[in-house]
Amino acid sequence: MSPRTTPRRAFLALALGAPVAASLAACGDSGPAGSGGGGAKNAAATMWILTGQPAEGIRTDAVNAFNKANPDAQIGLSSFQNDAYKAKIRTAIGADQAPTIIPTWGGGGLRDYVKNGQVEDLTPFFADNAALKDKLFASAFGAATVDDKIYALPCENVSPIVMYYNKKLFQQVGAELPTTWDDVMALVPTFNAAGIAPFSLGGQSRWTNMMWLEYLYDRIGGPELFTSIYDGQPDAWSQPDSIDALTKVQDLVKANGFVKGFASITADSNADQALLFSGKAAMMLHGAWTYGSMKSDGGDFVTGGHLAYSTFPTVTGGKGDPANTVGNPAGYYAMSSKATDEAKTAAKKFFAEGVVTDATTKAWAASGSVPVVTGVDSQFAGSDDADWLTFVYDLASKAPSFQQSWDQALSPTQAEALLDNIEKLFGLSVTPQQFADAMNAAV
């Protein structure tokens, strides 16, 4: 997930970015977070978060610490798995039963909330809390801004999409890490011949497939290609560069570039990550947020130096800058406009004092994530993850274009059509032109 002066182009002009964690494991309602903080059973405000460690623990600790320090402004916490949350929040908001504090990815979804009067204008809040605003990456405000007004708090971590490699498997087949798309395609038969899946992919989740198109569209057509789609230009999906990108991803599928049965593998269970660190797949394209879970769940895969990473390979003749990246500029929290004044007061106090603290900044960095805090790279020295953190910080901060994830940039209706058609594209049930025609009609 980025800044904004207009609701259309600003998310493409990012210098920095990140997602609210999308690699999730548990599900359900955790109940009040007050067991360690006291008083949350009688919460003035409610908050929903996404599950999955280490992010869930950091969020829960932040709420508990705030509740302990603010007995008169308690936050009641519930947690939900990624896909379950997306369904539940739509229902809750439509019924005017949203939590006070609403996780959002910004972009098109947030614009819909604003259009329907469902979220609070936080511009006055940031005017009163200028020090907090200055503390955060300026570029992270783009996806939080609609018509020059800020409707969400950027927070947590910046997460570009990264190419991960299992170095042991590359050594096993005597191959070098790919730097071009031609390299990628040449590696596919090499790994298949060795009984190793070239790429892991949690295709059942669909948004994981989308990351491939985001990068191929950028590398082939540059960020202007998706801008034309986002701006609703007629037949934008049918442009030659678009068809080229769609064709290349199907070439990879047809060459058995992805693990067998990828369409049945879910990212919510972290099964795709396990294929990489267990040695069943050589490569994986995924968000920067997966580093922390691979470190915690993958044995010595990370700590033993078996993990390598890079940005997406170049495409010969492509128009995109090799330094461009895609992903999410920050985690975001909006505030329900339907909440009581008491709940809004508690939520604003939490936004001001409990979300971006020294403790949360250290915790996000310790988890292998780059917090959306200006100058945080000065704290990386001495960390076991210093090389990784510096890589992510530089990738995000130096990118000429940081393209927001498409399912977040587009409206929810368009995003759902996109995910449905991407599933068909990867399943080879539609041609590139049929995909383009369907998306032109949806836009």
CA 259 to chain centre: 22
What's the pLDDT at 23?
A: 30
Cα separation, 178 vs 189, in Å, equals 14
Cα separation, 16 vs 192, in Å, equals 36
Residue ranges, the chain, pLDDT below 50: 1-39
Residue position matching structure tokens 């011949």:
193
CATH topology for the 10-158+328-392 domain = D-Maltodextrin-Binding Protein; domain 2 (3.40.190)
What's the pLDDT at 40?
A: 55
Neighbours of 316 (CB within 10 A): 9
Neighbours of 428 (CB within 10 A): 10
What's the pLDDT at 8?
A: 26
Task: Could you list the beta-strand ranges (E) of 256-324.
Answer: 281-287, 307-310
What's the pLDDT at 268?
A: 86
Nearest CA among 278, 319, 308, 274 for reference residue 293: 274
336 DSSP β-pair partners = 119
**CATH number for the domain running over 160-326+406-442:** 3.40.190.10
What's the pLDDT at 137?
A: 84
The vertex-285 CA angle with 303 and 61, nearest 5°, equals 55
The vertex-355 CA angle with 352 and 359, nearest 5°, equals 115
| Dihedral (Cα; 179, 422, 141, 319), 10-degree rounding | 40
What's the pLDDT at 115?
A: 93
Cα separation, 374 vs 47, in Å, equals 26
What's the pLDDT at 31?
A: 35
Residue position matching structure tokens 């098109």:
108
Per CATH, 10-158+328-392 and 160-326+406-442 having the same topology is answered yes
Give domain limits for the chain. 10-158+328-392, 160-326+406-442
